Chains A and B, each alone.
Chain A
Amino acid sequence: MIKMKDGIHIPEDGHQALVQQMLRAAEPRPARSLTRRLWPYGAVAAAASLALIALLRPVDPTPVVTEDLAWEALDRGALNLTDEDVSILLNDDEFETLLADLTQD
């Protein structure tokens, strides 16, 4: 090691550490820096999209009850209607139709 007049003497391992530090600082890494620059925006966009989907999606969608489905449920005994319920729900014509359908088989 050469003695310097300014008293700053850098040993070989110190020199190599400086070399590595400088080479590392200049390593070209555009893809990584681009990713680093964009990831916060990506994260915000993803969070906003999820929030929007959650807001627009029906929480508990009401099932569409068709006439056929209702009849099938009644036919299978899934609906437990008393005579009184039926008389309240149906007018006379509908009641006659129901009786006719139920006694058809």
Chain B
Amino acid sequence: MPLKDEASIHTAWSSGNYDQAFSCLIQAYASDFYRTAVRIVLDHEAAQDVLQEASIKLWKALPQFKGQSRFSTWATRVVINESLSHLRRQKTHLGLDAVTLAAPSSPYFESDALLEALHDAVNRLPEKQRLTFQLRYFDEKPFAEIADLLGTSVGGLKANYHHAAEKVKKHILALNPTYSDASND
């Protein structure tokens, strides 16, 4: 996370210029928000809907931001919550079995067989493990930030990540044992 972006947002926000603070926040992190959303809802259009809803919530909540975390962390938490809500509504509406995409359906997803297998494995994980794995492995976020994002302890997260990584590795190797080198990364 570029600190200069956080500083720009904070400067505008602390002087009450919420328009500028919001604009800086979106300009700096829109792609990160999209990646987070599309990995959860697995569909480009759905991710765009999620971002629109999240955007409205962020804009309304920005003046009440408490400053207890980075702006990016706070906003990512809003995007994750909005994505999960969207997913639950979709599952309720379509039935649990309807959401079975293995990998994100997005024009920005540059797929290959290993990535497909990786996403397929990740999307089979329980929700908490899935989010932990995505934020840690894909985004390389520190455990402390993931704990802040998901509202859980660092110790619990590390255990979650360990279990998730084991399951992912097992799934990928079951699909194709030649992936053993890649799965060690």
Binding site for B on A (CB under 8 A): 4-11, 14-15, 18-19, 21-23, 25-26, 28
Kindly list the 5 A-B residue pairs having the minimum CB-CB distance in the complex, ordered from nearest: A26-B59, A25-B52, A6-B138, A18-B30, A22-B55
**A8 with B26: CB separation less than 8 A:** no
CA distance A26 to B26 in the complex (A): 11
5 CB contacts below 8 A, A to B, read A4-B138, A6-B104, A8-B35, A25-B52, A28-B59
**A22 with B134: CB separation less than 8 A:** no
Known: A21-B48, A22-B52, A25-B51. A7 touches B30 (CB 8 A): no
CA distance A4 to B93 in the complex (A): 32
Q: Which of B96-111 contact A (CB under 8 A)?
A: 103-104, 106-111
CA distance A8 to B54 in the complex (A): 20
Enumerate chain B residues within 8 angstroms of A21, measured Cβ to Cβ.
Answer: 48, 51-52, 55
1/0 per residue, CB under 8 A from A, across B20-60: the answer is 00110011001101110011000000001001111110110
Q: How many A-B residue pairs have CB under 8 A?
A: 75
With an 8 Å Cβ cutoff, the count of chain B residues facing the other chain is: 35
Enumerate chain A residues within 8 angstroms of B51, measured Cβ to Cβ.
Answer: 18, 21-22, 25
CA distance A25 to B51 in the complex (A): 9
**A4 with B22: CB separation less than 8 A:** no
Enumerate chain B residues within 8 angstroms of A8, measured Cβ to Cβ.
Answer: 34-35, 38-39, 104, 106, 108-110
Known: A18-B51, A21-B51, A26-B22. A7 touches B34 (CB 8 A): no
Shortest CB-to-CB span from A20 to chain B, Å, is: 9
Shortest CB-to-CB span from B62 to chain A, Å, is: 9
Enumerate chain A residues within 8 angstroms of B34, measured Cβ to Cβ.
Answer: 8, 10, 18
CA distance A7 to B134 in the complex (A): 12
**B55 with A26: CB separation less than 8 A:** yes
Enumerate chain A residues within 8 angstroms of B59, measured Cβ to Cβ.
Answer: 26, 28
**A7 with B111: CB separation less than 8 A:** yes
Interface centre among A11, A14, A18, A21 (most CB of B within 10 A): A18
Enumerate chain B residues within 8 angstroms of A25, measured Cβ to Cβ.
Answer: 51-53, 55-56
CA distance A23 to B33 in the complex (A): 13
**B56 with A7: CB separation less than 8 A:** no
Known: A18-B30, A22-B30, A26-B56. A9 touches B23 (CB 8 A): no
B138 and chain A: residue at smallest CB distance: A6
